[in-house]
Structure 1
Amino acid sequence: MFTVIENPEFTETVPVAVPGEAETQRITARFRVVDTDDLDWNDQAAVKAFLDEAVINFEGLGDDQKRPIACTPEIRAQLLRRPYIRVALIRSYVLAVTKAASGN
């Protein structure tokens, strides 16, 4: 039996290639599943709006001294403004929802 969840959410560990850094960093993102039927993936404003709706919060954040920090609304907005983070989030979101769809 397929379970219908009214507002599905999921957590993914997102690999992020940070410019100028040799190692890929990882961030844990909590997503909500949103409708993308009418989303124009080539429209930067639409993609930003999609991420603003889909990304609930982040975990596993640290400052430049490697001290843990909380995901405040300001930190969340700052991270969503970075293009390399947006690309990583989109990739992880799409892979997660298409994997889930193919598994059902």
Structure 2
Amino acid sequence: MFKIEDQPKLVEWPVSVNVPQDGGKIKKNTFTAEFELITQEELDAIYKDGGTDVDLLRQVLFNCTGVCDAEGKPIDFNDDLRDKLINIPYVRSALVAAYVECSHGKAAARKN
């Protein structure tokens, strides 16, 4: 049975980031993001008047775990970390891809 939920739903979802490396290579890294699933109307409203992926992520990204500093120490989520992640193009694209995958009900890619 399928139940329609009236309340916003928060979902934890894996984010796979391809970090550019010398020689045209990438290093795969992952962390977990917590997204609020918004309605199609809300999504359309974000982009309608020139909104961007940055605007989307500021609205739907509520938490991240598995993000560390240069020394490998976990960083607690806050607005500064959110904005720092969004400001890195390859992280922003990974977050948007993860949100789209999540909001469309597609299973996350499995690790091999």
TM bucket normalised to smaller = 0.7 to 0.9
- Tell me the equivalent position of 2:86: 80
- Tell me the equivalent position of 1:36: 43
Alignment of 1:55-70 (within 5 A): 55-70=61-76
CA distance in 2, matches of 1:96, 1:72: 22
State the shift of 1:75 in Å: 1.3
- Tell me the equivalent position of 1:23: 27
Q: How many residues align?
A: 98
SS in structure 1 of the partner of residue 103 of structure 2 = helix
Runs (5+) with no aligned partner, structure 2:
107-112
* Percent of pairs with identical residues: 26
Runs (5+) with no aligned partner, structure 1:
none
CA distance in 2, matches of 1:22, 1:48: 23
SS in structure 2 of the partner of residue 51 of structure 1 = helix
With structure 2 as the length reference, what TM-score do the two structures score?
A: 0.75
Alignment check: 8 A CA contact 2:20 2:27 kept: no
With structure 1 as the length reference, what TM-score do the two structures score?
A: 0.80
- Tell me the equivalent position of 1:3: 3
